[in-house]
Structure 1
Amino acid sequence: MSAFDPAAYLPDDLLERIRARAAAVDRDNVFPDEDLAELRAAGYLAVLVPQELGGAGLGLAEVAVLQQRLAGAAPATALAINMHLVWTGVAKVMADRGLDALRFVQEGAVAGDVFAFGISEAGNDLVLFGSDTAAVPASDGSYAFTGTKIFTSLGPVWTQLGLHGLDTTDPENPQMVYAFVPRTDAIVTRDDWDTIGMRGTQSRTTELHGAVAAADRVVRRVAPGPNPDPIVFGIFSVFEVLLASVYTGIARRALDLSVAAAKARTSKKTGRPYSDDPDIRWRVAEMALAYDALPPQIAAVAHDVDGCADRGAFWFPALSGLKHRAVVAAKQIVDEAMLVGGGSSYFARNELSRLYRDVLAGMFHPSDPESAHATVAAAWLGPVSG
């Protein structure tokens, strides 16, 4: 088997074109349509799809590396594409465990479909374990979904929306329903994405007014609440690994920019480059020490997902902890990079200032700090007594 070469899937010239567009995308608060077009043409939407179905046949561990690479060029583009890759990753996780219910996602990705992630809801801290969206069944096996989803990345461009809702037609046995709906008049995408950073994701609010998922697009019905069902594990595992990857990519870019700035700046006091200053050297070393711990952690967890490893009750703490450590470290690294870069990094035209705004989004993705700590505490200490 030949060694994995990230440049074969994300060539340097493609990344440079994406990087060159990132500032304008952020400034104009628009979706990076050109990035998506080039990534689609390069087959990137199908990197997690098996070769026999027309994809690249990569594993989660390899795509995690690619997403770090893409995030170093354009964090918002990487985060937006992440949400499509989550669904193709879930399809792979389930297929690896003998469940072929999401083959249509794999085939759609090869054909050029863009899958969005419609899970987040305002005030719903249950996330995967509950929903305020009503899922109403029909006699033909289809479901109609009515509710509001927030942070729907790829808002202007998605063709299929993967979502969940709660079926309460049997009050004694409510069911969480996972399904996919096409973009129709029953779905309204608000133009309401005006944020500090990650502006290119265009993660807009999505209104569902009886949006119908055909029977063959209803992929899973599970009991609400904490659940080890394969679709829950698939979503959580791929989501957390790829999120950690994006923010690790931001951290690496900030580290690289700070190294370049330290070498380019000259001290008036000493006449020597700032890279010789002991305080600057210590600061860059601290950044590098924090960064160096991230890629191996991502690789270890992703390889275990790919290999169907059994971590038992420690799977969810491992996944939420991975994401939490990555975003906390990335934010600290960008903070330090701003200081190494000096006052010029505070100008909006400076790439570091954009990374500074983009990295803030990491703390708002599931698992948030409170949820991550609660999950890890429950694994080590057990549930709260009483």
Structure 2
Amino acid sequence: MSVFDPAAHLPDELIDRIRSRAAVHDRENTFPSDDLAELQAAGYLSILVPAELGGGGLSLAEASVLQQRLAGAAPATALAINMHLVWTGVAKVLADRGIDSLRFVQEGAVAGEVFAFGISEAGNDLVLFGSDTDAAPHPDGGYAFTGTKIFTSLAPVWTQLGLHGLDTTSLDAPQMVYAFVPRTDAVTTRDDWDTIGMRGTQSRTTELHGAVAPADRVVRRIAPGPNPDPLVFGIFSVFELLLASVYTGIARRALEVAVATAQRRTSKKTGATYSQDPDIRWRIAEMALAYDALPPQIAALCHDVDGLADHGGQWFAQLAGVKHRAVTTAKAVVDEAILVAGGSSYFAGAELGRLYRDVLAGLFHPSDPESAHSTVATAWLGPIEG
């Protein structure tokens, strides 16, 4: 059995080039087009597609390691690419379970299609279980989608948008409809991405004005509300695990920067580097102790998804939990790194200053802290009565 080598897919030279551009995209609020072009040329957008279809044939666990590595170089690039990898990951999860309905996603990724994730809607805390977007059925089996999606990463470049909407007019209505629409004149992308962090994702608002998904791109119709459907599981599992991977990569990078800074800075009091200061050593140890717990947790759940493990009613709690822990731990690690580095990290151009802003975005991704706690409480205590 060959040993997985992350550097074979993301060579050091590529990582260095991506890292060198990250600050520019953050400062100028621009999309990392050069990063995407290099990653596409390296076959990165098809790493989760089976080798027999022309992809990299990697497991979710291996893709997670790569996303941690990419996030350490450029968090916004990794988060943007995540949203494409979610769909190829869902296609893999379904195919591994004998469901081939997203084969076109796998083939499209190999052919150069860029898939975006069009699920988030302002004020919709139902997320996968409901939608304010109208899904109007066509006689041929297609659907026209009208509504507004927010946080659409890869907004300037996507070619296919995976989304959901609510069908309220069919005989079996209401039904949640999951489908893919191409970029046409029926889709308007607002130029409204001006945030404090993760600026390179360019996760702009998307307006759908009757955007049509043809019948062969309508992949699921399921009842609204909590649902054990394989597509829902696929989206939730891959989304949460790859998100956890990105923020774990940020934590790792913050730790690395803190270590390098402590080894470089010299105390005027003692003449020794800060790496010899007991308080600084304690902080870095605290960061490492927190970070070290994350990769094994993510790897274990990724292996369980890859291996078709059955956690029953605990699945969603475990997935929401690992995302929540990764995000909150990453934020705590970055906070500690800021204290180690001192006042220089307060400048906007400092890498730690950028990581400090980037890591905040993790709190807004599903599952947010309230949703994660609700999911875990239900798994252990059962639903609220009444």
Which TM-score tier does this pair reach, normalised by the shorter chain?
Answer: over 0.9
**Residue 60 of structure 1 corresponds to which residue in structure 2?**
60
- Paired with 1:143 and 1:343, the residues of 2 have a C-alpha distance of 54
Count residues with an aligned counterpart: 386
Letter of the aligned partner of 2:15 in structure 1?
A: L
Counting only pairs closer than 5 Å after superposition, residues 1-386 of structure 1 correspond to structure 2 as: 1-170=1-170, 173-386=173-386
Q: Secondary structure at the match of 1:210?
A: strand
Q: Secondary structure at the match of 1:355?
A: helix
Letter of the aligned partner of 1:256 in structure 2?
A: E
Alpha-carbon contact 2:165-2:178 (below 8 Å) kept: yes
Letter of the aligned partner of 1:136 in structure 2?
A: A
- Paired with 1:379 and 1:55, the residues of 2 have a C-alpha distance of 37
Q: For 1:244-270, what per-residue CA distance to the aligned partner results, in whole angstroms no more than 9, with x for missing partners?
A: 000000000000000000010111111
Aligned structure 1 segments of 4 or more residues deviating by more than 6 angstroms: none
- Paired with 2:361 and 2:355, the residues of 1 have a C-alpha distance of 10
- Paired with 1:77 and 1:173, the residues of 2 have a C-alpha distance of 39
Displacement of 1:171 in angstroms is 7.0
Q: Secondary structure at the match of 1:228?
A: coil
Letter of the aligned partner of 1:255 in structure 2?
A: L
Letter of the aligned partner of 2:94 in structure 1?
A: M
Q: For 1:189-234, what per-residue CA distance to the aligned partner results, in whole angstroms no more than 9, with x for missing partners?
A: 0000000000000000000000000000000000000001011000
- Paired with 2:219 and 2:385, the residues of 1 have a C-alpha distance of 36
Letter of the aligned partner of 1:322 in structure 2?
A: V
- Paired with 2:383 and 2:171, the residues of 1 have a C-alpha distance of 27
Displacement of 1:170 in angstroms is 3.7
TM-score (norm 2): 0.99
Letter of the aligned partner of 1:15 in structure 2?
A: I
Alpha-carbon contact 2:244-2:323 (below 8 Å) kept: yes
List runs of 5+ in structure 2 lacking aligned partners.
none
- Paired with 2:322 and 2:97, the residues of 1 have a C-alpha distance of 23
Displacement of 1:172 in angstroms is 5.9
- Paired with 1:79 and 1:385, the residues of 2 have a C-alpha distance of 38
TM-score (norm 1): 0.99
Percent same amino acid among aligned pairs?
81
Alpha-carbon contact 2:137-2:170 (below 8 Å) kept: no
- Paired with 2:277 and 2:146, the residues of 1 have a C-alpha distance of 60
Letter of the aligned partner of 2:329 in structure 1?
A: A
Q: For 1:265-323, what per-residue CA distance to the aligned partner results, in whole angstroms no more than 9, with x for missing partners?
A: 11111111111110000000000000000000000000000011000000000000000
Q: Secondary structure at the match of 1:261?
A: helix
Letter of the aligned partner of 1:40 in structure 2?
A: Q
- Paired with 2:365 and 2:375, the residues of 1 have a C-alpha distance of 15
- Paired with 1:84 and 1:176, the residues of 2 have a C-alpha distance of 21
- Paired with 2:270 and 2:338, the residues of 1 have a C-alpha distance of 22
- Paired with 2:194 and 2:49, the residues of 1 have a C-alpha distance of 33
Q: Secondary structure at the match of 1:37?
A: helix
Q: Secondary structure at the match of 2:205?
A: strand
- Paired with 1:303 and 1:98, the residues of 2 have a C-alpha distance of 18
- Paired with 1:172 and 1:296, the residues of 2 have a C-alpha distance of 44
Q: Secondary structure at the match of 1:342?
A: helix
Q: Secondary structure at the match of 1:98?
A: coil
Displacement of 1:173 in angstroms is 3.2
- Paired with 1:133 and 1:173, the residues of 2 have a C-alpha distance of 14
- Paired with 1:226 and 1:178, the residues of 2 have a C-alpha distance of 15
List runs of 5+ in structure 1 lacking aligned partners.
none
Alpha-carbon contact 2:316-2:375 (below 8 Å) kept: yes
- Paired with 2:194 and 2:308, the residues of 1 have a C-alpha distance of 40
- Paired with 1:162 and 1:272, the residues of 2 have a C-alpha distance of 55
CA RMSD of aligned residues (A): 0.7
Alpha-carbon contact 2:79-2:243 (below 8 Å) kept: yes
